[in-house]
Amino acid sequence: FRGRLAGSYAVKLASAWAETSREDGHAFGINFPNANSVRLLTSDRLGWTPILRPSFLVRPLPGLRFTERPPGGLPPFLANLGGRALAAGLSLLKRPPKAPPGRIVELDGFDARFDALWHREAERAPAAFLRDAATLSWRYTSHPAYRYRILAFERGDEIAAYLVASPRSLMGLESLLVVDGWAAPSDTGLLAVLAADLARRAAKEGVGILGAQV
């Protein structure tokens, strides 16, 4: 909603969300604001407090190709040349982690095995966002605007770890953003295995950069 009253409606909506959360018994809420909402959420009316600033990590891939002038005014052909050289150097320096027994699969949705992983490991995490199958399906397979890809590590009949990524266009670059993931504390190395496999798949598909906000 845009217009003179947009800020007032936004405050009412955020206040109502916070009140509903309190009534449901939650002790706190977490939000990842954008540039338009951070001042509103941290205003005296709402009183939210910044506690961390995620870093945006980027790995260039061999298919990097700017379709518009990149930031900083560098000509696209020079940016493409430099990015591809960096991608080639990283490929030589960073060997993919060795995968343990199991297999990596790309799935269309979240089944009961994701529930089993969540219930098996959630109590060991000091803090975590809900990641059962129903929540993941609502967040990623039913999204009205964006498409998400699910990469999972299967060990026997179980899901041991997974990553969720979304194709986007950033700064004129075809990109793939890692937006979610989960593994048992003893299996966090599987996330690196999945990330390396995702980079390999993205490179074969001509994606320019792999990114993640962490």
Banded model confidence at residue 194, pLDDT cuts 50, 70, 90: very high
Q: Which two tokens stand for residue 18?
A: 């916070």
**Please, which contacts does 51-59 make with residues 24 or more away whose CB atoms are closer than 8 Å?**
54/213, 54/214, 55/213, 55/214, 56/211, 56/212, 56/213, 57/211, 57/212, 57/213, 57/214, 58/209, 58/210, 58/211, 59/87, 59/90, 59/199, 59/209, 59/210, 59/211
pLDDT, one tens digit per residue, over 4-38 is 777 788 888 889 998 999 999 988 788 888 887 88
pLDDT, one tens digit per residue, over 122-160 is 888 777 788 999 999 999 998 888 999 999 999 999 999
| Closest-CA residue to 120 (of 190, 165, 186) | 186
